Amino acid sequence: MPRPRTHDPDTVLDAAESLAVRSGPAAVTIRAVATATGVSNGAIYHTFGSRAELLGRSWLRAARRYLTMQADLVEAHLGAAEVLASSSSKGRDAAHSPQVVAAILAAAETPVEFAQRFPDSSKLLLLTVSRDELLGDELPDHIAAELAGTDDALVGLIIRLSRALWGRGDRGAVDVITTCIVDLPTAILLRRDRIAEPIARQHLRAAVRAVLEVGPPDRISKPTPDEGTT
């Protein structure tokens, strides 16, 4: 019989995460999590409501950890560049700085840092389990809304990087940043599980720099929803 523990929601989420990445989403049952943690079935249901919500909360925690780390890595470079741009007589031209490129590289390389700090969250979010496979069709509406919020946070970061580098947030510019911090890391690091290979990280940096060198197409007239009339 497992020794009872203080009911810490993170303990329950740790167990659900571990079961999902080691044995697949089907292994994440309330009973299995209760056995792994020593928390009673009733206490888990009281906190999370259902198995679907427990899985959704596990994914949300991993996503928020990732986005927080990515935002912090970007801020370490981009904050200084934005201050420079706002105080310079050159205006937006000053934003075309090594700090902005470094911020984009840091955003692209976040999967590497994330895997080192949160290995199970990384496998849940990026490598082992697909979002659709884990969450299924029974996700509570409020969890689905929170998941949409994480998507919005990523879009906001992409637009910020685009504006910092080129002074524009239209679709053409945003697509280039999306390629750099979403598509290239997925293709180079994640799809073939090369996240721990230093050479893959070098390839990623080279690819990002090459895409940024080409830059966005001429500005298109239709703004992104987030851009509005700016």
Express each pLDDT in 142-156 by its tens digit: 888 988 899 999 999
Mean pLDDT of all residues belonging to the chain: 86
Residues 168 and 195 in one domain: yes
Instruction: Using the predicted structure, report yes or no on whether residue 127 has a pLDDT greater than 70.
Output: yes
Residues 129 and 28 in one domain: no
Residues 27 and 75 in one domain: no
Instruction: Using the predicted structure, report yes or no on whether residue 111 has a pLDDT greater than 90.
Output: yes
More confident residue, 201 or 130: 201
Question: Residue 30 — very low, low, confident or very high, per pLDDT cuts 50/70/90?
Answer: very high
Q: 226 Cβ partners below 8 Å, 6+ apart?
A: 155, 156, 159, 169
Rounded CA separation 219/191 (Å) = 32
pLDDT given at position 128: 75
Number of structural domains, the chain? Answer: 2
Residues 39 and 123 in one domain: no
Structural domain span for residue 24:
1-49
Residue 149 lies in a domain: yes
Per-residue pLDDT of 164-191, as tens digits, reads: 999 999 999 999 999 999 999 999 999 9
Mean pLDDT of 35-39: 94
Residues 70 and 13 in one domain: no
Rounded CA separation 44/52 (Å) = 12
